[in-house]
């Protein structure tokens, strides 16, 4: 892969106000133009950089378009078999109890083949962040139907549109797990506007801080798009998200811890001398 130039020249009178986080490797993404993965990767790695936890974070990248996340994220990572990210993350977390561990999973991984591992990791309250990228389709394998695909949605395995009698209903996995006592923080976010990106970043930051408390699983669903799979332009996918996906998967917090995490925000000691 060709390396992009990354020299930031200091030009008189101009200051750098935005750059790629140092925790993202200087490698072009393979994601399709307009795909939400690119934004989520960036936001996630910005948080890791800002919190200063690059040396203490391990990510799990299972099968899906984002299986190659370890080519982009400059942290220790493990690739996982399809559906098994929650179990792999559990294994890592149990032997490294003081590190930050996250899984980065698609809808097939988390809500089809990995349903048991997802539910049981949360049921045990594993102190990990599950980042669930829900775009209602299987992108990597060429656009097949996912458990989260909408009724009537055309995919390569529902060519006449998903119909409930033989193919079931869109699976709201987040609603299923929210009431498990092991689920500490559950929220549904998006990356379709600058405002939603900012909200996602806040959610991810909170999730990492909650990990220090060891009170359970943080679960962030990102309702995202798949221009290739949906057979739309990126701009059309934004409309589809707003008109079809968000009504099915409403954005917002589903479960928020009651108190502020006091341990995460220690006030600076007041100096004795003025």
Partner 1 sequence: MIENESLSREAGKGKPHQGNAVMKGETRLMKGNEALAEAAIRAGMDAYFGYPITPQSEILEYFTVEVPKRGGVVLQAESEVAAINMIYGAAGAGARVMTSSSSPGISLMQEGISYIASAELPCLLVNVMRGGPGLGTIQPSQGDYFQAVKGGGHGDYRLIVLAPSSVQEMADFVFDGFRLAEKYRNPAMILADGALGQMMEKVVLPEEGSLPKATPPWATTGKVNRKSNVITSLHIEPDKMEEINTYLQDKYRRMQDEIRFETVETDDADILLVAFGLSARICQKTLELAREKGMKVGLIRPITLYPFPSAAIAEAAAKTQFVLTVEMNAGQMVEDVRLAVNGKNPVYHKGRMGGIVPSPEEILTEIESILEKQQAEVEG
Residue 84 or 188 with smaller CB distance to partner 1:
84
- Asked if 163 and 153 count as a contact pair (C-beta separation under 8 A), the reply is no
Distance CA 188, CA 245 (A): 12
Q: Which of 20, 32, 49, 54 is the binder for partner 1 (CB under 8 A)?
A: 54
Residue 118 or 237 with smaller CB distance to partner 1:
118
Q: What's the min distance (Å) between Cβ of 203 and partner 1?
A: 23
Q: Which of 38, 78, 141, 157 is the binder for partner 1 (CB under 8 A)?
A: 78
The encoded tokens of residue 99 equal 């590190």
State the number of binding residues for partner 1 (CB under 8 A).
34
Phi-psi region of 104 (alpha: psi -120 to 50; beta: other; left: phi over 0): beta
The encoded tokens of residue 36 equal 């939400």
Residue 81 in contact with partner 1, rule: CB under 8 A: yes
Residue 120 in contact with partner 1, rule: CB under 8 A: yes
DSSP state for residue 30 in the 8-state scheme = -
Distance CA 107, CA 119 (A): 14
Residue 116 in contact with partner 1, rule: CB under 8 A: yes
Query: Within 13 Å and on the Cβ side, how many CA atoms surround 152?
Result: 3
N-term to C-term CA, the chain: 55
Residue 35 or 60 with smaller CB distance to partner 1:
60
Q: What angle do CA 236, 113, 122 make, to 5 degrees?
A: 95
Angstrom distances, CA of residue 152 to CA of 146, 159, 230: 13, 9, 12
Q: What's the min distance (Å) between Cβ of 53 and partner 1?
A: 9
Q: Which of 10, 55, 165, 258 is the binder for partner 1 (CB under 8 A)?
A: 55
Residue 60 or 173 with smaller CB distance to partner 1:
60
Residue 23 or 148 with smaller CB distance to partner 1:
23
Residue 76 in contact with partner 1, rule: CB under 8 A: yes
Residue 22 in contact with partner 1, rule: CB under 8 A: no
Query: Within 13 Å and on the Cβ side, how many CA atoms surround 97?
Result: 5
Residue 95 or 262 with smaller CB distance to partner 1:
95
Residue 75 or 191 with smaller CB distance to partner 1:
75
Q: Which one of 31-39, 41-49, 70-78, 206-214 is the stretch in contact with partner 1 (CB under 8 A)?
A: 70-78
Q: Which one of 68-76, 132-140, 181-189, 245-253 is the stretch in contact with partner 1 (CB under 8 A)?
A: 68-76
| HEC profile of 135-173 | CCCECCCCCECCCCCCCCCCECCECCCCCHHHHCCCCCH
Binding site for partner 1 (CB under 8 A): 54-58, 60, 67-68, 70, 73-81, 84, 87-96, 99, 116-117, 120, 124
């Amino acid at each position: 892969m060709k390396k992009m130039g990354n020299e930031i020249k200091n030009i008189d009178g101009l200051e750098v106000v935005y750059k790629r986080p140092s925790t993202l490797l200087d490698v072009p993404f393979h994601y399709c133009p307009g795909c939400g993965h690119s934004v989520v990767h960036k936001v996630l790695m910005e948080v890791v950089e800002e919190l200063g936890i690059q040396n203490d974070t391990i990510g799990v990248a299972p099968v899906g378009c984002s299986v190659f996340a370890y080519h982009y994220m400059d942290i220790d990572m493990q690739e996982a078999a399809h559906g098994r990210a929650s179990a792999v993350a559990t294994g890592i977390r149990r032997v490294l109890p003081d590190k930050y561990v996250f899984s980065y999973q698609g809808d097939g991984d988390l809500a089809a083949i990995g349903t048991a591992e997802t539910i049981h990791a949360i049921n045990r309250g594993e102190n990990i962040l599950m980042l669930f990228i829900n775009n209602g389709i299987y992108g990597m394998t060429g656009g097949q139907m996912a458990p989260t695909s909408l009724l009537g949605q055309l995919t390569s395995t529902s060519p006449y549109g998903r119909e409930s009698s033989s193919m079931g209903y869109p699976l709201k996995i987040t609603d299923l797990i929210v009431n498990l006592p092991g689920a500490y923080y559950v929220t549904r976010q998006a990356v379709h506007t600058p405002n939603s990106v900012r909200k996602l970043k806040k959610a991810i930051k909170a999730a990492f801080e909650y990990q220090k408390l060891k009170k359970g699983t943080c679960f962030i669903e990102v309702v995202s798009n798949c221009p290739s799979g949906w057979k739309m332009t990126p701009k059309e996918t934004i409309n589809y998200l707003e008109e079809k996906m968000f009504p099915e998967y409403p954005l917002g917090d589903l479960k928020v811890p009651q108190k502020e995490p006091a341990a995460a925000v220690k006030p600076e000691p007041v100096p004795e001398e003025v």
